[in-house]
Every structure is written in structure tokens, then in C-alpha cells.
Structure 1
């Protein structure tokens, strides 16, 4: 990317923020309910909390044409949730595999659809995941402590939200700026955990309401060399690593001992007056980039990390009459990889290989909600999005210097005979997307409603897509709700997926000639991945304080992207790159399909025993599926699933004392490895696990709460699957990722 284009990004973002201060624009939820009122609700009210995400209009969760789970602020506090991953881990049909990827740390699966970049993350309806859809860790970078509620919508959402809402939409609804409630919280825990956040609300003159919040978390994490014998770090003392490629002695200094810290922070501010709302959120997360590698194949030091930050600014204005509501929104978002981010492993000779990437988006959207009659509602809108991106480069010898043109030298290419090495080519992308959507809801009678919608998008990179949705909600009896749903979605081939490259060259003659055994190189011709899902659910009130819900679904995904040999598929490189021979080149490629099917039975109950109020919830989930292997028509089992999962949780309150216990029992986990590599039919498995988390808190005079959270209370030494085949016992990675032992955290929260 040239200097002019880089300067455009910063000027664009500065102009956006300046415009936000002048532009009248909001995506705000109306008729909000406070946390205290939520705790006093009956089961009927609790299960029909008002939501906005499924239709972009406020309605009860029971009436919404979608499966939507709502987690309230009070539940976040009682259960001690710190991250989105912890929230999703307690929900049916989600699988959270922590420590399973060196870039985005955890891999989130929803109804068999893997990767968190298939989930669109919003804050009050504004996208806060990466604008160009690089996958982000689901950790404390996303600010749960300012949430009034979190709405998790399952299934395809492209008919309303466009690209990337394939597996679902997560919308963090913030507390009202005029609530006048502020908070301060500090947490400390075992194995080097510390976190603090501050949330301030203030009403200014002329009815302006301002909110400011910030959070910082540092987690040293458990020393796995003391927990698991597989983490032998003797090489960190001797300096000689017996890697899968043979002994290596790195030249750059090492820190003795195991280090794998996580760091995250965020900053939030909002300004509201009437229908006007302006918000800014910056969040950053930094994770160890040797995750899943055996210690002899990767360096676990605190300076070996991958850091990503997103800054989002939005301004919105809502104006309404008796029948018509207009919501005008302007959004700008900027994503950047910390230039100090690096991998240090056997692929780069155990030396630091630095990475860099950035992306930005400007979006203008106009939405109209029109109440035609008591029976008919229409929602329509149009969007324009402008993107710029530098996709993730290969490993660099030094961190990118952002002054001037973006550039760098390929790792290990500089030698005495070639001191300048190979200059890395950074791709520079500029593209746009135009979209329009229309949705109608028709309720011919009180207990029956139909929803139909359609969205059209045209992207200058990959062309046009059309995504419909239809749904029917029927209540044949007072306490019975049936939902039948169908929808489609598309996942845009992000710059990260299309243009990422990794691998390195080596020389055996001091730099006169070079060669490489392996490179992963770009394929700019990728097309969108598409999906369609059919869903049926039945909710029944069994008793006054007991609800049962049965949900069944089937999804089909086409045009899936897998890594394949360049030769015989794209033929873009012909075993050569930068003029030198490469033994094997792989590229991402649209090839194959995936089918998932499953369902869950969920129970919810609110009851009292004496002076103790309880909320009991439980679910049994089953999800399975098949995939078509690259280069063949063979269907095989889907990897990285625990098909059977059982969850049960109990929240309770006795006066000023709150408590919560949540158990997840996961069945056998299917890995990416095959039992017989010559017959890709049955995959290997690793044991399931029982994960018990416990939280309790005591509130003094409705102002100060002392709380304790215990994670993995059974102290299980369990594993999660990883996203690639590691069946060879001598491979560079573990075949599954080791998880944290028991951890205890305590904290104090003040409300003022």
C-alpha cells in the first residue's frame, strides 16, 4: 500500500469522527427494562423479553421470527461472565474451543458452523467486529460490563445485515445513557489474573446524556509447564530446540520458562440527546501466537504474541411520527494488527516473524419502519459501504515501519550475499458494497404472524448476492408457540482469507539461490460461501413456572473454502514464487459443501423455596454434519465437534446473596484427524469433559458487591480440539489443546 492510500485511511477516519459530531443520526432500543425489573419478572415475562436484533424492530422474543437468546445485565453479574466466549459456552448449540488457534485464540462453533467470523458482533446494532472480517478472539476485548442485555440470534442473518452474518448475530445492547447508574469493578485471581473496569453516566445541561467506560485486563495464565508434562521447556534454558524439522538454535534471545499472557482493553463513550446518539468504541486484544504448538516447535514467551485492535465510531438519528420511523446512521471502523505481532516457531527457524494487516470501512445507512396498519409492518433500508484493506502479509524480518510506504523484508531472506533480502509485496485493496433490504410482517390474527424479507448486495470484488428469509410464528394455545423459519446467508471472502500468505524461503549457499518447501499464497478469485437453513421450534408452558422448548434445524453450506494444492486447481503459481522454486504451494479454493443437522431440548424454570428465588435452566444439544473433502466427492464426518452436549445451570438469590452454578458436560470430541488416513471416513476423537463454573456475590446496602468466581471447579485436565489434522505423533502441533486447571477470582464492584 502506498503512502497516499495509507494517509487516506487516517484522513477518512478523522473526517468521519468530525462528521459524527455534526451529523444527526441511531440504532436504539425503545421501551427498555431495568435489571432490577428483570429479576422480578415472572417466567412468562422473562422468556418474552423485548428484543430488536431479529427484525430490527422491537418485539417480544416469543413473537420474533428467529431463535434468540437474551442474557441480561443481572445474569452477567450473577454468573460472573467476563467474555463473550463464556456467555456462548452456556448456550445451546454453541461449542467454544479455547486455546485452539494462534491468531484468534478460541474457535466458536454455532450449529456446526465454525469460526467466529461467521458471527456478526454488534454494539447497539453497529458492527464492532473487524470491518473487513478478520477473526477476533472472543475475550474481554468486547465490553460486557456496559451491557443492559446481550441478544444472540441463531442462524442466517444476511437478509437484514448483509455479509458475514452466516452463523448468527450477537448484539450487545448498552445501558441507557440517562440511567444515572455508574460502576467501578476490580478483579484479581490465581495464576496472575487482574482486571478492572469503570463505567460513568452523567446528565449534562439541555438533556445531553454522556457515558464513558474503560476496561483493562492482564492474564498471565497458568504455567502449563507445571500443569502438563507435555509442556517441557528445557529448550528455553539450553537454547536448542529439537523441532519436528530437526535441531534449531535461535539467534535472538529467549526468556527462560513458559510465558503465554493475554492482554486486552477497551474504551467506550457515548453522547445522547433525544433521537441523536454518537458512540465510539476502541477494543484491543493480544494473545500468545504459539498456541497449539509443542514447546519444542514454538516459543512461549511474552514477546511472542498476536495483537489486534478495532476502533468504531458511529452517529445516528431517529425521527418518528405515529406510523413512520426513520433511522439514519453513519459508521466508520478501523482495524489494525499491532506491528510488533509475531510468530516464533520452527517454520521461521525459531526467529521472530512479524505480521501486519489493516482494514477500514465507512458505512452510510438509512432505515425506514412503517406501520401500515395494526396487522402490517414494513422495514426497509439501503446501505453504502466503502472498504480499504492491507491483508495479512507473510512473516517479516522486522516490524512494519508505518512512516511512508508500507513495506518489509521476508523473514530469513537477508544474507551476507543478499543483505536486502526479498521485499514483501503488500496487497492494497479498495472496494465497495451497495445493499438494499425490505421486510414485511403480517399478523392476520392475534396468534399468527408471517415475516418475509429480501436483501440485495452488490460487492465490487465478487459481484451480487440475494438473500431471502421467511418465517411464521403461531400460538394455537395460550402457552404454546410454534416457529417455522427459513433463511439464507453469505460469507464474503474476506481479504484475510483471500490474500493471506505464510511460509518462508531458505538458502544453502549464503543467498545466491533460494528455495522453499511450502508456501500458502493468495487466491484473489474466491467467491462467497453461501448457506441456507430450515428451522422448526416448539415452546410449551408445562406448568406455571416451567417452559420446555424443542428446536430442530438443518443447514446446507455451498462453495466452502478449503486449502488445496495450487497445481491442478488454480494454477496461479506453478511451483514458483518471486522467481524461486517452491516444492509445494497451497491456496484457498472454493471447493466442497457442508451439511449440518441437529437440535436441542431446553428447559427453563423460575421458582422459590422459602426465601430463596431460583432460575433453573438446562439443555441437551445434538449437532452433527458431513463435509465434502477437497478434491473429491467423498463425504466424511465433520471435524471439531462434540455432537452431544448437556448443560444445566442454577441461579439463586437470597436477600443480598446471589449465587450461580453452571455445568457443561461435553461428549466425545471429534478431531480433524482420521482413524485411517487411507480411508477418510471415521475421525479420531478425544475425551469429553465436565466443566463446572461457580459464582457467588454479596451486596452491601445496594452499592457494593463482593464476589467470587471459580472456573473449572472440578479441576479437570481436559482438552479442546484444534482446527487442523495433527494425527502424526511427531507433528509440530498437539492433536488437541490443553485447557486451564481450576482458577479462583475475587472482586469488588461499586455502584454509584
Structure 2
């Protein structure tokens, strides 16, 4: 169905619903009744409050009037010391307005404010979400599968950063490398090169890198200002457009008013020190002056991370080369290679190689010479330090918010400095302090204007933002060029080209030393974006949200990079930004690509009756790169039927999404990928899911979701002809089928104890690339994805809530790799899989006084030794095949609130 036809049908449906729906307001009830009740309350005529409001609560008031009515009833019940009835009225008020914050009204009695907060804490955490449809809606009626973690969850569980939380969520596989991307977070069984197909946001502002779409989700995001985190499962392009492919993670922080409450100034801090010389400080301050409220949050985090030098692939031990198979690395064959070798060495007699027909074979003397030259490289110094394993992490974050009437203005910036040696091994890269460091940076300035144009009927929200993402020019790699790794030329599955093989043999014949090559990188992209959306309730049973956005971006094509040194000399103080070159610098148009995007969406939710609601929506997107590039047009629908009998909620959802190819995928080249592909099309997915949720008195929550996703046009690297040899190129060749089940439960056992548990089953397959003479593709198991996950936790509070204890359990099933999987290059893992493991984590908190709370955090308490799979190709050469994880580790932290 064409987008125009779909939108016309949607508009017709909404029009019919509007014409045929009766107004709910009944004669004799309305705003004047609320006014009468308020006047009665002010005169302490409490019977007058009841007589004004009670007759209208059943059918006379609309939702907005009911909120005010229940608020007045709660105040009245408190005035006559009927706390239980006040509690019930507040529950009803929060059912209609879950986001109500009493602290914003300084005239309210303290008893009322306190009771509202108590009720909110005892209710189901996060009854309302905003990340599904960009509007407030009930968690169980939202047209998607959603989970919410609250500020209380984060603190009680001892999360010292917001990357750790994915351990305890259903539907996620995490592979931590503590390297370029810190960790790879895969949602619902989809394994990609990086964390790039889930949309990460803070306050609705995207965090994914503009150039690569990678999200550098490490330890930089603060905790002290977090209100809640909403996790949306499944495609979300109907609302967000490109790249909300697998789901959405949205960190919602507190507004300056929410931080202040009734105070004029406040400060909160989270300070910690722990294993691996890890230390951090996270501070939020807020103040009010006149009609302006301001908050500032800063965070700094430093760690030496886990020392992996005890593992063979990271010990930089020259003796490792004694068992290396140099014959496999240095022998080569082929008529062209042999002829080149003979010509090159026609006047030289060498004991290192012998030519036999079309083959050139390394001799025992050649093997010994290569081995000694490789050993010598590990005894050198680089960047003023001996070659050895080091890793480190430094992160900085700053966010400021200013609120003035209907306008919120904010600025956010963060940068990371991460060692990258874990991405490879000691036969490929040097340690962080030898110059192997990656430094992404991001800054964004945005303004949000909100105006209720027609009371309770029409609200306008406009968000304008300017964002910059960079790989700053101190980012560098220190790569080993030696004989065992064939000068970093060979990638598993390929063969050395004739010129490269001859060059390597010639180097050995001439006794050229193995050396460390330092390369500096730089990338800078920016974007201006504006989104205007309208939320309307034209009739009581219908809610509509629509919007229009445009993005104007300047995206870099390929890295700027500069080769600093092939020797042991200290690299000169220069930068890729000023002196570097790109493969695109000399092409027409240069290395910067102007990208223009338009998007418009419309979604309506109609309450068919008190039990059934129907959500129908669609979004149209258009993209152009320069004059003729870009994907052109995309349209993505969503339809959801929600049935809520009593405490049950049934959902049936269908949605599609697309992933736009990144500028990195289109244009960036490497030593193994020598062909760009500017004509890449978007990835596509169609997703269907069914779910049922059960809620009992807001104390017990049970839910299960089954889904099936069909992926097509997946961008992946494939081998293509290149001159007389082959190279890698990005192409739309991938097809995948993923089905799974997510189940979760939360039980409030008593005022003291709460438990949760969740389970994930994933069945993920990829179709193998069609090879020569094949007519049918074979199915491959998606590598690095566990078939089963189980997470559980229990929280208890004691000593009148001054002492809190939290214990969490994680079971991660075996993760298949190697032949028969989508990560066929990872052949070094025994038995072709990463074995299952169980972890136990805990946190104990004690409130010392009203200002200070101390917490002791322990992770991997059973000291389980296990490894996560490597990233990207994970071939054990240019990409490490595994990363050993942290053993038992801990943190002592202090929360300070002033």
C-alpha cells in the first residue's frame, strides 16, 4: 500500500470515529463543580466538597476534571484525618495523571505531598511511559513492549554506571571488550559489528554517533539526575524514523524543578572507589532564581580496568612465537607470485626460501629468522614505554538545563578515552599507554518549547538541536607489523595477493625488522535538527500525535588519518585533523557529505470501548545525499490492538523499521575493505508480537511476550573481486529470522521484600551468503547470542528502611561461534561456543544520616572466570576472539544529598 493511500485511510478512520463518538460530559457537571468544591474546601465546608464532586465522578467529569476532583477529595479526607480514604483518592488521581509532581506547588500541605510520594513509591514502578509514542501513555496500554527501571532500582542494585543495567534486562546480549566501544549491546538476538541498531537517547536526544551510528555507551552517563530509564523492544521507525531498528533505550533525567522540589538550592553527589583503581564522582546541583530554574550535572570516571596480561594473547611474551606455524604464514603459491619472487631475487641467493614450481616455501632458516625478528619487536619501546599490556578508561560528562516557563534549554557534552588493545591481541596492537587509545566526543545544544494551545485538547512541542560527534585527533592505534601476522594484511578466509606475498618474503630476505606503526585518526560530523509535534485529543476517546522533522547534516566520508612513524622514534606532535588524508580527499565533492532528511508521522489511538483500544500509525521519511545519493523514500507503519479486561492486558502488535546505512559503511575504507559502496540501501525489518501482562494491586506484575522478526537487505561485508585478488565490501546481502520469548515477573512480598525475575529465549538464524554454483542459501545460527537468559533479584529493607540489601543473579547460556554460525571466523573457542555461566552480584546500603548514605557493591561474588566473545570478525588476528571478564570486584560509594 502506498504511503499516501495509507495516510488517507488513517485520516478517514479518525474522521469517522470523531463523528460517531459521543461526548462524555453530562449535563450538570463541569468546571463550575470543581470551582464550587474548591470554594467549599477553602471555607472548611467539607460536606460541600463531597456533595459537589461525588455525583459527577462516575460519568460527569472528563479526565482532566477527575484529576482535580480526586486531588480535592484527597485534601479533604486529610483535613478530616481520614488517611485511608485520602490514600484511595490519590491512587485514583495518579491513575489519570501518573506523572503528577506535588513538589511543584508550594501551597500544598506537607501531609498531602508526603502521601502522594508514598503512594507513588508503592505503585507499580513507572505506570506511565513517553518513549513509545513521544507522548505520555499507560505502560500497559502503550503499543509496544516496554520495561522501566526507576531511580530507586538503579540505586538499590548498586549500578555505578548505566551500562551495567543490561546484565539484568531480558532481551539483551552483552559482549564487553573494554576497548573501542567498551561493550557491544545486542537487542533481541541481532548480532552486529557494534552497538548500532538500537537507538540510545538521553531525554529524547539521540546519542548514536552521526557518522557511524555506533553508540559509545560506556560509564559516562550520570546517575544522580536520572528519573527513570525506558526500554522499548521492537521496531520504532513509525515514530523515530531511521535507526530505531531493534528498539529504543531512553534515559529520562529530572527537570530542574523536579530536582529542587520545595528547595531553592540543592546538591546531590555519588562518589565511589573500587577495584582496578576505579574512582568516580557524579554530582548534580540545582537552584532557582526568580522564574528561572537551573540544574548542572557533571561526572568523571577513571579506571585501569581488568589486567589481562595473565592471558596468553595479552602477555607480550616473546616465547609465544616458538610455537607459531611460520610455514603457514610465509609459504605462498601461484604462478604470478613465484615469477615475481624469482625476478626479485634473481641475483640473490637466500637460505630463507626455495622456489618449487609455482610455490615459494620458507626454509627452516627462514622460519628461525622470522621468529627472532618477531621476538625483537616485543622488546622495543613505544611512546616512551616498554611494550606491554595496559588498558585504561577516562570519561567526562557535563549537562546543564535551564527551565523558564514553557521553554527548556539544555547543553550536554561528553568525551571518552579508551584503550583498544582488547579489540585485538598482543600480536596485533600495543597497550593503551603505548599509544593505543580511542577518543570519541559528543556535544549537543537543544531547546524544547511546550505550549498547551487548547486546554486539554491540543499541545505543541518543538525541539531544536545542534549536535556534533567526533573522533578527536589524539585517537591512535599502535599496530604491530611483523611476519607472523603477515604485516596485518591477511584476514582469515583470504589469501595474500602476489605483490604482498613477495613484499613480505623480500622483507625477510633483507632482514627487515618487525616494527610498530602508529596511526592517528580524526572524524568530525555535525547536524542541525528540528522536530515539531502536536498532541491532540479532539474527542474523549481519541488521542492523536503527529509531527514533522528535518535534519541537515554534514557527515565525514572516511577517516582523516596520518601515519606518524614506522620506526621506534617518539611520534611527532601533530594531528590527523590538520595533516591527515582520506581516501576521498581528492574525489569530486571531497570528504564531507551534505545529507538532508525529512520525516513526518501520524499516530492515533482510539478507545473502542472501556476494554479495547486500537493504535494505527505511519511515518514517511525522505533522504538525499548531495544531489543524487541517499535512500530516497521509506514508509513504516505500526498497528496495535490492546485489550485490557480487569488486571490483564493483551497486546497484538505489527511494526516495521529501517536502518539507514551509515556514512562509515558507505565510504570508509581499511586495509581489508578497499572498495566503498555509496549506493547501499537501508536494512529492513518486519516484526510481529503478542503479549499478555497481569497486575495485582500494583504489587505483583507478570508478563510474557512472543515475537517474530524478519530482516532483509542487511548491510554486511562480503568478498568481491579486486584487481587480481579479492577484497571486502559492504553490500545489502543479509537475511535473518529471529523469534523469541521474553517473560518477566515482579512480586512485592511485603513492605520489606521485593523480588523480580525474567527469562529470555532466542532462536536467531542468518542466511549464509550465496556462493558460486549455489542456488539455495543455508541457515546459520547467529553467533555470540545465548539461547537462554535468566535474571533474578531480591531486595530487602530493614531498620525502618535505613538498611537496604540487594542480591542479583544472572545465568547466560552458551554462545555459539565458528563454522555454522554467522561469526565463522571465530575458530579459536573450544567446542565452538562460549560456555554458559552464572554470576552473583550484590549491594548493601546504609543511611548514615539524612545527608549521607554508604553503599558496598560486590560483583561476580563467586569469582567466576569467563569470557565474552570478541567484536566484529573476531578472527583472532585483527580482531580478538574473546575478552576475559572481571573476576570478583567491588566498590565503596557514598551518596550525599544537601
Instruction: Provide the TM-score with structure 1 as the length reference.
Output: 0.84
Counterparts of residues 59-458 of structure 1 (less than 5 Å): 59-99=137-177, 102-114=179-191, 115-178=194-257, 179-180=259-260, 181-205=266-290, 207-226=291-310, 228-235=311-318, 247-248=373-374, 249=377, 252-253=382-383, 254-302=385-433, 303-320=435-452, 321-322=454-455, 323-346=457-480, 349-393=515-559, 396-398=562-564, 407-408=579-580, 427-458=591-622
- Indicate the SS of the match to 1:88: helix
Question: Which whole-Å deviations, capped at 9, do the CAs of 1:262-308 have from their partners, x for residues lacking one?
Answer: 11111000000221100111011222222242223221233311110
Q: How far apart, CA to CA, are the structure 2 residues paired with 1:691 and 1:177?
A: 38
Aligned residues of 1:196 and 1:215 also touching (Cα < 8 A): yes
- Indicate the SS of the match to 2:163: helix
Q: How far apart, CA to CA, are the structure 2 residues paired with 1:657 and 1:447?
A: 42
Question: Which whole-Å deviations, capped at 9, do the CAs of 1:360-384 have from their partners, x for residues lacking one?
Answer: 1100111001101110011001001
1:522 aligns with 2:683: no
Q: Who wins on radius of gyration, i.e. which is larger?
A: 2
Q: How far apart, CA to CA, are the structure 1 residues paired with 2:572 and 2:461?
A: 41
Aligned residues of 2:562 and 2:575 also touching (Cα < 8 A): no
Change (3 A) 1:666 1:288: same
Aligned residues of 1:659 and 1:696 also touching (Cα < 8 A): yes
Question: Which whole-Å deviations, capped at 9, do the CAs of 1:671-721 have from their partners, x for residues lacking one?
Answer: 244489999999921211112221121112332111111121111110111
Q: How far apart, CA to CA, are the structure 2 residues paired with 1:196 and 1:98?
A: 23
- Indicate the SS of the match to 1:159: helix
Q: Which runs of 5+ in 1 are unaligned?
A: 1-28, 412-421, 504-517, 568-573, 576-581
**Greater alpha carbon shift after TM alignment, 332-341 vs 646-655:** 646-655
Question: Which whole-Å deviations, capped at 9, do the CAs of 1:610-666 have from their partners, x for residues lacking one?
Answer: xx6222110121112111122342221111111111111112222211221111111
Q: How far apart, CA to CA, are the structure 1 residues paired with 2:819 and 2:419?
A: 24
Change (3 A) 1:135 1:32: farther
Counterparts of residues 471-510 of structure 1 (less than 5 Å): 471-476=640-645, 478-503=646-671
Q: How far apart, CA to CA, are the structure 2 residues paired with 1:670 and 1:424?
A: 44
Deviation at 1:84, TM superposition (A): 3.1
Change (3 A) 1:548 1:676: closer
Question: Which whole-Å deviations, capped at 9, do the CAs of 1:474-495 have from their partners, x for residues lacking one?
Answer: 112x111111111111111011
Q: How far apart, CA to CA, are the structure 1 residues paired with 2:522 and 2:796?
A: 47
Question: Which whole-Å deviations, capped at 9, do the CAs of 1:376-419 have from their partners, x for residues lacking one?
Answer: 011001001001111342753149999998542589xxxxxxxx
* Structure 1 counterpart of 2:734: 592
Aligned residues of 2:521 and 2:576 also touching (Cα < 8 A): no
Question: Which whole-Å deviations, capped at 9, do the CAs of 1:453-481 have from their partners, x for residues lacking one?
Answer: 100000002211001111111112x1111
* Structure 2 counterpart of 1:641: 785
- Indicate the SS of the match to 1:89: helix
Change (3 A) 1:126 1:519: closer
Counterparts of residues 594-609 of structure 1 (less than 5 Å): 594-608=736-750
Q: How far apart, CA to CA, are the structure 2 residues paired with 1:33 and 1:459?
A: 44
Q: How far apart, CA to CA, are the structure 2 residues paired with 1:550 and 1:700?
A: 40
Aligned residues of 2:277 and 2:303 also touching (Cα < 8 A): yes
Change (3 A) 1:382 1:743: same
Change (3 A) 1:401 1:455: farther
1:560 aligns with 2:714: yes
Change (3 A) 1:122 1:157: same
Deviation at 1:592, TM superposition (A): 2.2
* Structure 1 counterpart of 2:837: 689
Q: How far apart, CA to CA, are the structure 2 residues paired with 1:263 and 1:701?
A: 32
Aligned residues of 2:598 and 2:622 also touching (Cα < 8 A): yes
Root-mean-square deviation (CA, aligned residues, Å) is: 3.3
Q: How far apart, CA to CA, are the structure 2 residues paired with 1:60 and 1:660?
A: 28
- Indicate the SS of the match to 2:294: strand
* Structure 1 counterpart of 2:758: 619
Change (3 A) 1:343 1:424: farther
Question: Which whole-Å deviations, capped at 9, do the CAs of 1:31-72 have from their partners, x for residues lacking one?
Answer: 358999898458983155211111111122112111111111
Deviation at 1:427, TM superposition (A): 2.2
Change (3 A) 1:487 1:722: same
Q: How far apart, CA to CA, are the structure 1 residues paired with 2:207 and 2:872?
A: 28
* Structure 2 counterpart of 1:459: 623
Deviation at 1:359, TM superposition (A): 1.2
Instruction: Provide the TM-score with structure 2 as the length reference.
Output: 0.71
1:750 aligns with 2:896: yes
Counterparts of residues 677-716 of structure 1 (less than 5 Å): 684-716=832-864
Aligned residues of 2:389 and 2:431 also touching (Cα < 8 A): yes
| Match among 658, 667, 670 for residue 804 of structure 2 | 658
How many residues align structurally? 678
* Structure 1 counterpart of 2:693: 539
Question: Which whole-Å deviations, capped at 9, do the CAs of 1:169-208 have from their partners, x for residues lacking one?
Answer: 1111111211314212211111110111110011111x21
Q: How far apart, CA to CA, are the structure 1 residues paired with 2:248 and 2:174?
A: 16
- Indicate the SS of the match to 2:817: strand
Q: How far apart, CA to CA, are the structure 1 residues paired with 2:826 and 2:779?
A: 9
**Greater alpha carbon shift after TM alignment, 138-147 vs 395-404:** 395-404
1:55 aligns with 2:203: no
Aligned residues of 2:689 and 2:707 also touching (Cα < 8 A): yes
- Indicate the SS of the match to 1:104: coil
Q: Which runs of 5+ in 2 are unaligned?
A: 1-97, 104-112, 261-265, 331-369, 481-486, 489-514, 565-570, 625-629, 772-776
Aligned residues of 1:128 and 1:312 also touching (Cα < 8 A): no
* Structure 1 counterpart of 2:74: none
| Match among 767, 777, 783 for residue 628 of structure 1 | 767
